[in-house]
Structure 1
Amino acid sequence: MRARLDPLFTQTLLKIGNGQEKTFEDDLIKIPAPLAINDPMAEESLDELIKVIYPDLASLTEVSRSINRAILTTKNCFVDEVNTKLINEFPGNLVEYLSFDRVENPSHEAEYGDLINSLTPSGLPEHRLSLKENAPVILLRNLDPTEGLCNGTRLICKKLDKNVIHAEIAVGEFCGKSVFIHRIPFEPPTDEQYPVPYTRTQFPLRLCFAMTINKAQGQTLDSVGVYLREPVFSHGQLYVAMSRAKTSASVKLLIKPPFNEHRLNYTRNIVYTEVLQAAEIV
């Protein structure tokens, strides 16, 4: 466990992960106050969380300072909310890359073109990808695993050309390796419903100032923000989010109260104990 040098935090994480943390009304658990933003109902509470995790954006042009921190949240729409705020504040000139979205039947282009542009299905890059040099990004496809380009690899944008992005692998065995990223075709997941079949050709990248909790599995971070605009919705998500941090001092949660605004720092923890029992974990 990453937090083994912080025994009290480790104990809290184990209780959350095993579903043994005390529950209250509506099956909520209470997060220790030192781990949470003080006034989650305030309009500027997200800005406060951002300042805790990214206190000095100008200094984050140094790779080691920008890549080892992130804000984790439940859904891509919340990821985009945070990433948009941060890329606008990040130093440098903004470069926008628009995807080429092509519907399978050309006769549907005029009717559905704008709608398709507005969609960002799970696992696909945005139609409008806004980047700056030195900004952190995460790879969305396995391009060349033998060279370190795997789905989930974190990189730093080094040079933004029209048809190629020069980047540097920021973590792992290939840390420091220079790579070139090109546009590739994507198709939306077959288990999701869309008006018409289509293909999106775009750079396989997403900003990773923020990322989904699921995408953060396996990552170790020096500073972790957890943005719970909505409660977690699947087994083990809260544990995964909080356990990316090494100590209690390096994690901060913003919990937007979903039920009663007077019950601050309460949130849902979904744990299927029968799954853990079958795996002989508890």
Structure 2
Amino acid sequence: MISVTDEDIIAATKLNEQQKDAYDQILNKVFRDESTSFFIDGHGGTGKTFLYRAILATVKSKKIIALATTSSEVDASILPGGGTAHSRFKFSLQLENKSTCNITKESSLAKLLQMTKIIIWDESPMINKYAVEALDNMQRDVTECDLPFGGKVIVLGGDFCQVLPVIPQGKKEEIFNASSPLLKVKLVAELSEVLI
């Protein structure tokens, strides 16, 4: 169990107007157990991590299971209980269309994912779009729920001006097709909210 610091608990009282709006909308869905997805878009230094920490502290203080993950190891160390998406969700090393997560329904990780109410994934634009699709498919499988991401609240976030996914010896078109700008267009069209 990840402990919640006093600093993170009081973070909710220090949110700016945009952060507070995102915080309220996200927690409303978590507490009402409603399936939805959000994207937090903002350049470095705009307070995304501060917002995530406030959300995680509030949720965990109410004994609700929340998972924090990022696309890079450095960012994972900043979030309480954070881990990289590749290690948390057991993605294949070579992501492609119809890639899956290496998680069986009987595993302890699958049971944790079934009990989880909210997943926060920072720096999501930096990862191949097939990773997000693999997470969606795996969540539907382990929860036996056909709602997006198995009915969980998903908060994706990051900065679309950062690094594109690496495609070894990839041509411009291959990098674009695997990249977050394409992911952003898809998610903004499908997700219920675009915040910050």
TM class by shorter-chain length? 0.3 to 0.5
Instruction: Select the structure that is richer in strand.
Output: 1
Q: Which protein is bigger by CA-based radius of gyration?
A: 1
Instruction: Select the structure that is richer in helix.
Output: 2
TM-score, structure 1 normalization:
0.29
